[in-house]
Amino acid sequence: MYAYDGLDRSLVRDRVDEFRDQVARRLAGSLSEEQFKPLRLMNGLYLQLHGYMLRVAIPYGVLSSAKLRALAHVARRWDRGYGHFTTRQNLQFHWVKLSETPDILAYLAEHDLHAIQTSGNCIRNTTTDPFAGAARDEADDPRVWCEVIRQWSTLHPEFSYLPRKFKIAVTASAKDRAAIKAHDIGLRLGRDAEGRLVFEVLVGGGLGRTPHIGALVKKDLPADRLLSFLTAILRVYNREGRRDNLYKARIKILVSELGLAAFAEKVEQEWAALDPTEIDILGTELARIRGQFALAKLDPRPAVSRGFEAARTREDFARFARNNIAPHKVQGYGIVTISLKGIGDTPGDCTADQMEAIADLAESYSQSEIRVTHAQNLVLPNVALDDALALFEGLRAIGLASANINLASDIIACPGLDYCALANARAIPIAQAIARRFEDPIFEEAVGELQVKISGCINACGHHHLGHIGILGVDKKGEEYYQLTLGGSGAEDAAIGAVLGPAVAAGDVADAVEALARRYLEVRQPEERFLDTVRRLGPTPFKAAVYEHADTV
Amino acid sequence: MTSGVRTDRATAVTANALGGGEVVFLASSSPSAWTARFEDAAIFDSDVAAEAALSAAAASDFKVVDAYLIALDNSAGVWTPLSLRERIRALGPTTEPQLGPQARGGRVVEALQAADSAARSSGRIRLIRRR
């Protein structure tokens, strides 16, 4: 795991001191809200329905046990005892006070955490595969490249006032667990025919009111030229992206208006004019960063863990093993996903007590390392299969042993109208109502992989466009209604879901989702996932299932 | 109220406290006071009166952010914010009943929770936008 050096520490501490002064001036009245708002946003502090929300950066979703304990402490001392993990692999505290925020940030800085660039029109937290460093199918450890991007993009003087926010995601696997095609820039790391590390660069993906799937702008970019190529893209965007219309300011609109070929040509011209020696990472620096991500020595284990196999005779553990444990690159180990989506839970919420318990479990069973997933779950990446049962029991003791990863109740949901000042409709109660329909694990597993994603407004923080079933809250004459989409995907087969039909009333959403799942069970072919069946048959049979009874507008 | 004005509608003034962030309302107790309890909010029978009270409150030592008027509804016999958004602000998250002003319970909180009038879009009156 990357460890801060003196430069990182002084940068974060200076920022805390600066913000403390700004907050004091705001509280004293010498800064107006208009003057102060951009300053607080640069430090991750929003004003929402019930008060201030602080978004803490978790670079590429990687946490240590010590950092998770620090977050638990913030939740308990300065918030209401919990935090909310987001689709940007960050953590939000929803109840902080402006007057206490400098103290919170100072405490976070002591633990090498901050809230810089979690808001504003800058390069946001780079996200990646939560299985990074442990996945069997990866070409390289994407965390190394995320850290390279973090260092390059942090307080980058040229890219601090972009036309709009800018999000980058990296994967090094064919299986996309980072939704790279839904990002302003998506990077897929692989190897060319000679075995050299190369990036595929996708550009112009994004959600919101005009969803786009990222398009390939560069193949076989030598990995050591990454930063100059990113600089070229950002320069073209910074220069030519629209600043006259908030809704047309993302790079996806620029790429779409120019056309991919013309945009790519501009980037190539810009890239050719750059001096790579000024921008690209030096081999020595790359080696230094890479050294920090070396997989700690995992004791060799037999391919078959007797304890694990014996435990799998227990149905509850067998279900957990099937759904929540993925193969590890080292024999005898697994990657364990901790679901924050138990029945009745708020997706992504985690209490201070749970954070501390997870930190302890990670210390015992996963080399003190924890990952945050863009699906609002947590991952312990390096678990010996021999320890999996003990970990399962530890998770069960804190109410976090739900065996539902990628199943219907593993729902992404934004905070919605229960917290967010932008929302039109609630998302959390809808997620909870849907999850209850899949409470029977036999039914839920029979339905299999089904990704339900809910956003409370068109800004799409809940990634509804990418849901196999997407749900968008809308305000219809003052009442909460929900538009359903089918057929979206955030994976390597990325697609934007298509609207199924008229929006349905809040009380009918869970019925609709259950009806869709049951119709799938009736019409699927063997081995087909829900998404595959939707793609094969189109919307007609599903439309009929939903609109037989629903109250629609 | 003048004739022709609906007697089941009124206006309150809301904001967030600057330092703490909590939801506040202009209070009925004194002209420039703010309260975190919706039941203690001043009820104005016209937007003009509410705007005037908001202007007067600018001199208050208690600083607030993003003040605006909200429409109230009295169709159930208790004044409640017309929009769901504003009822959620007055109560706290619907999914966390132990958090926010709703935690203290009482007749007005129960009336807010039971209210089903909606209209987010008409619930905020001439929102003062600060961008």
Nearest CA to CA, how far is B57 from chain A (Å)? 15
Q: A241 pLDDT exceeds 70? A: yes
Single-letter residue type at A403: A
CA distances from A82 to A281, A401, B17 (A): 39, 18, 22
| Domain boundaries, position A362 | 306-397
Residue B72 is assigned to a structural domain of this protein: yes
Query: What pLDDT was estimated at residue B13?
Result: 97
Q: A397, A420, A438: which is the final residue of a domain?
A: A397
Provide the CATH number for the domain around residue A164: 3.30.413.10
Q: Which two tokens stand for residue A425?
A: 């409709």
Could you tell me if A357 and A212 lie in one domain? Answer: no
Beta bridge partners of A85: A91
CB contact under 8 A, A98 and B21: yes
Give the residue on A whose Cα is nearest the Cα of B121.
Answer: A478
- Whether residue B59 lies within 8 A of chain A, CB to CB, comes out as no
How many Å apart are CA A444 and CA A190, to the nearest integer? 35
The pLDDT assigned to A168 comes to 98
pLDDT tens-digit map of A46-78: 999 999 999 999 999 999 999 999 999 999 999
* Residue A224 C-alpha, separation from nearest chain B C-alpha, in angstroms: 41
Q: Within this chain, do residues A151 and A247 fall inside the same structural domain, yes or no?
A: yes
pLDDT reported for residue B5: 56
Cβ–Cβ gap B85/A49 under 8 Å: yes
| Interchain pair B120, A424: CB under 8 A | yes
- Is A300 within a domain? no
User: What's the pLDDT score for residue A478?
Assistant: 84
Which residue from A372, A366, A408, A336 is spatially nearest to A92, judged by alpha carbons? A372
Residue with the larger pLDDT of the pair B127 and A36 = A36
In chain B, the percentage of residues whose pLDDT exceeds 70 is 84
Q: Of A344, A363, A397, which closes a domain?
A: A397
Task: State how far Cα A330 lies from the chain centre.
Answer: 25
Q: Smallest Cβ distance to A47: which of B16, B95, B119? A: B16
Is B2 within the bounds of a domain?
no
- Burial-class residue B66 by CB neighbours within 10 Å (0-12, 13-18, 19+): middle
Q: What is the rounded distance in angstroms from the CA atom of residue A499 to the CA atom of residue A497?
A: 7
pLDDT, tens digit (0-9, with 9 covering 90-100), for A328-383: 999 999 999 999 999 999 999 999 999 999 999 999 999 999 999 999 999 999 99
Residue B78's domain spans which residues? 9-122
Q: What is the mean pLDDT of residues A216-231?
A: 98
Point out which residues pair with A482 in neighbouring strands. Answer: A473, A504
Q: Mean pLDDT, to the nearest integer, of A200-214?
A: 97
Phi-psi bin for A491: left (phi > 0), alpha (psi -120 to 50), beta?
Answer: beta
- The whole-angstrom distance between B52's CA and the closest CA on chain A is 21
Helical spans, DSSP H, in A274-409:
276-279, 283-292, 306-311, 315-324, 352-365, 388-397
B103 touches chain A (CB under 8 A): no
Are A350 and A359 in contact by the 8 Å Cβ rule? The answer is no
For residue A327, name the pLDDT band (cuts at 50, 70, 90).
Answer: very high
Name chain A contacts of B66, Cβ cutoff 8 Å: 33, 47
Name the residue with tokens 């959390």.
A428
Nearest-CA distance A48 → chain B (Å): 9
Number of folded domains in chain A?
4
Name the helix (H) or strand (E) containing B69: strand B64-73
Question: CB neighbours of A14 closer than 8 A, spacing ≥ 6?
Answer: none
> Has residue B128 got a pLDDT over 70?
no
**If you measure CA to CA, which chain A residue comes closest to B82?**
A478
Q: For B130, which residue in chain A has the nearest alpha carbon?
A: A34
Residue of chain B whose Cα is closest to the Cα of A347: B95
Say yes or no: A66 and A156 in one domain: no
ipTM value for the complex: 0.94
A156: tokens are: 């980058």
**B91 to chain A, closest Cα gap in Å:** 9
CB pairs under 8 A between A and B: 82
Whether residue A123 lies inside any domain: the answer is no
Q: Give me A507's structure tokens.
A: 């009380």
Residue A552 lies in a domain: no
Q: How far is CA A550 from CA A448, A502, A509, A510, A514, in A?
A: 25, 10, 9, 11, 12
Whether residue A325 is found in the same domain as residue A188: no
Is A478's CB within 8 Å of B94's CB? no
Q: Which pLDDT value is given to residue A340? A: 98
pLDDT tier, B123 (very low <50, low <70, confident <90, very high otherwise): very low
Tell whether A116 is covered by a domain: no
Q: Domain for residue A129, yes or no? A: no
Question: Does residue B127 lie in a domain region?
Answer: no
Tell me the torsion sign for CA atoms A312, A314, A319, A321.
Answer: negative
- Closest Cα partner for A405 from A430, A456, A441? A441
Q: Which of A29, A419, A479 sits opposite B63 (nearest CB)?
A: A29
- Asked if B88's CB is within 8 angstroms of A478's CB, the reply is no
Show the tokens assigned to A9. 């520490």
Average pLDDT over residues A496-502: 97
Which chain B residue has its CA at the smallest distance from A97's CA?
A: B20
Residues A144 and A286 in one domain: yes
With CB atoms and an 8 Å threshold, state whether B83 touches A29: no
- For residue A13, pLDDT over 50 is answered with yes
Looking at residues B34-47, what average pLDDT do you find?
Answer: 96
Q: Does an H or E element contain B70, and which?
A: strand B64-73
Question: Is A117 inside any structural domain?
Answer: no
pLDDT for residue B125 is more than 50? no
Distance from CA of A350 to the nearest CA of B (A): 13
Q: Residues of B with CB below 8 A from A37's CB?
A: 130-131
Q: What is the pLDDT of residues A91-109, one digit of tens each?
A: 999 999 999 999 999 999 9
For every residue of A156-214, DSSP letters joined together read -GGGSS-SS-B-EEEE-SSS-SS-GGGSSEEEEEEE-TTS-EEEEEEE--B-TTS-B--
- Where on the phi/psi map is residue A38: left (φ > 0), alpha (ψ -120 to 50), or beta? alpha
* Both tokens assigned to A313: 């005779």
Is residue A187 a contact partner of residue A168, using CB atoms and an 8 Å limit? Answer: yes
Measure Cα distances from A251 to A203, A235, B7 in Å.
Answer: 8, 11, 51
SS3 B99: coil
**Per the structure block, which two tokens stand in for B80?**
């409640």
Same domain, A273 and A418: no
Beta bridge partners of A96: A52
A126 in a domain, yes or no?
A: no
Q: Is the pLDDT of residue B8 over 90?
A: no
Number of domains observed in the structure of chain B: 1
**CA distances, A150 to each of A57, A64, A367, A455 (Å):** 11, 18, 23, 28
Dihedral of CA atoms A473, A474, A475, A481 in degrees, nearest 10, equals -70
Query: Is A144 in a helix, a strand, or coil?
Result: helix
Q: Which residues of A touch B22 (CB under 8 A)?
A: 50-51
Tell whether B4 is covered by a domain: no
pTM for this prediction:
0.95
Q: Which of A23, A35, A46, A50 to mutate to test the interface with B (most CBs of B within 10 A)?
A: A50
> A59 and A146: one domain?
no
Distance from CA of B98 to the nearest CA of A (A): 10
* d(CA A25, nearest CA chain B) in Å: 12
A324 in the same domain as A262: no
Of A47, A428, A479, the CB nearest to B65: A47
CATH for A64: 3.90.480.20
Find the range with the poorest average confidence among A172-186, A392-406, B75-89. B75-89
Contact call for A49 and B88, based on CB within 8 A: yes
Pairing of strands B64-73, B34-35: unpaired
Residues of B in contact with A98 (CB under 8 A): 18-21
Residues of chain B contacting residue A80, judged by C-beta atoms under 8 Å apart:
99
- Cβ neighbours for A169, distance < 8 A, ≥ 6 positions apart: A126, A127, A128, A178, A179, A180, A182, A183, A185, A186, A187
Q: Closest Cα partner for A484 from A473, A496, A500, A497? A: A500
For residue A518, is it within any domain? yes
Can you tell me whether residue B54 is helix, strand or coil? helix
CB atoms within 10 A of CB A286: 18
Q: Which helix (H) or strand (E) holds A252?
A: helix A251-258
Residue type, A411: I
Which residue type is seen at A119? S
Q: Check A97 against B20: CB less than 8 A apart.
A: yes
Whose tokens are 């050719």? That residue is A272
Looking at the domain assignment, is residue B41 inside a domain?
A: yes
Region of residue B28 (phi > 0: left; psi between -120 and 50: alpha; otherwise: beta): alpha
Angle, CA A347 vertex, CA B14 and CA A143 arms, to 5°: 110
Burial A169-183 (b: 16+ CB within 10 A, else e): bbbbbeebbbbbbbb
Task: Look at residue B25 and tell me if it is in a domain.
Answer: yes
Contact: B19, A97; criterion CB under 8 Å: yes
Quote the tokens at residue B64: 């607030």
CB of A51 within 8 A of CB of A45? no
State how far the Cα of A29 lies from the Cα of B98, in Å rounded to an integer.
33
Say if B85 is an interface residue toward chain A (CB within 8 Å).
yes
What angle do helix axes A388-397 and A315-324 make, rounded to 10 degrees?
100
Q: Nearest residue on chain B to A32, judged by CA atoms?
A: B65
The verdict on a CB contact (< 8 Å) between A49 and B63 is no
The verdict on B84 touching A (C-beta cutoff 8 Å) is yes
In chain A, residues with a C-beta closer than 8 Å to the C-beta of B113 are none
Domain match, A365 and A429 both: no
Average pLDDT, chain A: 96
pLDDT in the model for residue A408: 98
**Is A43:A96 a contact under the CB 8 Å cutoff?**
no
| A154, A285: one domain | yes
Give the range among A36-40, B21-25, B51-55, B56-60 with minimum mean pLDDT.
B56-60
Instruction: Indicate whether B91 belongs to any domain.
Output: yes
C-alpha to C-alpha distance for B9 and A540, rounded to whole angstroms: 45
A426 neighbourhood in chain B, CB within 8 Å: 94-95
Say if CB A16 and CB A24 are below 8 A apart: no
B58 CB near a chain A CB, below 8 Å?
A: no
Q: Tell me, yes or no, whether A62 and A91 share the same domain.
A: yes
Task: Identify the pLDDT of residue A354.
Answer: 98
> Using alpha carbons only, how large is chain B's radius of gyration in Å?
14
Please give the pLDDT value at position B120. Answer: 42
**Quick check: B58 pLDDT over 90?**
no
On whether both A435 and A537 belong to a single domain, the answer is: yes
Task: With H, G, I as helix, E, B as strand and everything else as coil, classify residue A215.
Answer: strand
User: What value does the mean pLDDT take over residues A32-49?
Assistant: 96
Boundary (domain end) residue, out of A355, A370, A397: A397
The torsion angles phi and psi of B122, rounded to 5 degrees, stand at -95, 5
Contact B20 A419 (CB under 8 A): no
Cross-chain CB nearest to A475 (options B21, B63, B121): B121
> If pLDDT is split at 50, 70 and 90, which confidence band does A2 have?
confident
Q: Do B84 and A417 touch (CB under 8 A)?
A: yes
Q: What is the pLDDT of residue A294?
A: 83
